[in-house]
Amino acid sequence: MKEIMVDFSVEQIEVLSQEFESKTPQAILVWAVENFGPSVAMSSSFQTQSVPLLHMVSQIHADMRIFFLNTQLHFWESLIFREQLQHDWNLNVADLYPDPKWKMFLRQFGLGLDMDDPDLCCFLRKVQPMQQALDGLRAWISGIRRDQTAERAQAKILEYQEEDGLLKINPMLNWTRRDVWRYINEHTLPEHPLLEQGFTSIGCVPCTRPVVSGDDERSGRWGGRGKTECGLHTAMFNQKDYASGDLIQTFGKQENNDPEQGEE
């Protein structure tokens, strides 16, 4: 466990989190900037539902670092949309890539890893790069909402992450899909170009499908794999050595069975 890097006790964080239930996302963002300055960063997947929070940040504190997980498996439309918003709103975006130490592994096993072991794939391409980027920061702003998944419904606006000494701030938690659209329409903001084709939630190409009108917003993600979260917002985020154990279990057997390896 790391030492506490925020200037609030766990009890104060609980109280503030309750108070923030009736505050606007903008008010929570202002509080975050005032209290953490350059030690707070935000993560964004640059989807349509990310647009309101990105727009608020551009108006409140455009210098804030925004991490984009560049898994190298995105739709080109997502990359264009990310570039467009960064340029138009002068956002301070940093792309995060998998740790170079997995380069050889991803070269050999990366294609199809989303089917062989999607949790491991998400860990290497998303969770670990975010763990590394947040190391040394004091607070992390995410755009999750309670109405997105059963897991997210249990989240709090302020969550102290003991393992990292990091405060996670979820200013959009109380917003619904309808609130997102109200804000987008009020401010005439752009939509992700794939939305009109039924992509209501967008991640990597191999794990994203369009949904039928009326379906759950995230039902097109990881279809048939029993997975609803990449791991950024679950207990996986605290597992710094997740990859090592899983790699040996899943792929060590394949290596051992490789007849070309021969015997010593």
Q: Is 204 a catalytic residue?
A: no
25 binds ligand SF4 (CB under 6 A): no
- Tokens read off for 132: 């590394």
- Give dist(CA 44, CA 187) in Å, integer: 19
Name the segment binding ligand SF4 (CB under 6 A); options: 115-123, 131-139, 171-179, 244-252: 115-123
Is 73 or 79 the residue whose CB approaches ligand SF4 more closely? 73
Range 201-230, binding ligand SF4 (CB under 6 A): 203-204, 206-207, 230
Q: Confirm or reject binding of residue 42 to ligand SF4 (CB under 6 A).
A: no
Site string for ligand SF4, 49-88 (x = CB under 6 A): ----------------------x-x---------------
By beta-carbon proximity to ligand SF4, the closer residue of 182 and 225 is 225
Closer by beta carbon to ligand SF4, 53 or else 122: 122
Question: Interface with ligand SF4 by CB under 6 A: which range of 75-83, 101-109, 198-206, 240-248?
Answer: 198-206
Active site residue ranges? 230
Name the residues that contact ligand SF4, by CB under 6 A.
Answer: 71, 73, 114, 118, 121-122, 125-126, 203-204, 206-207, 230
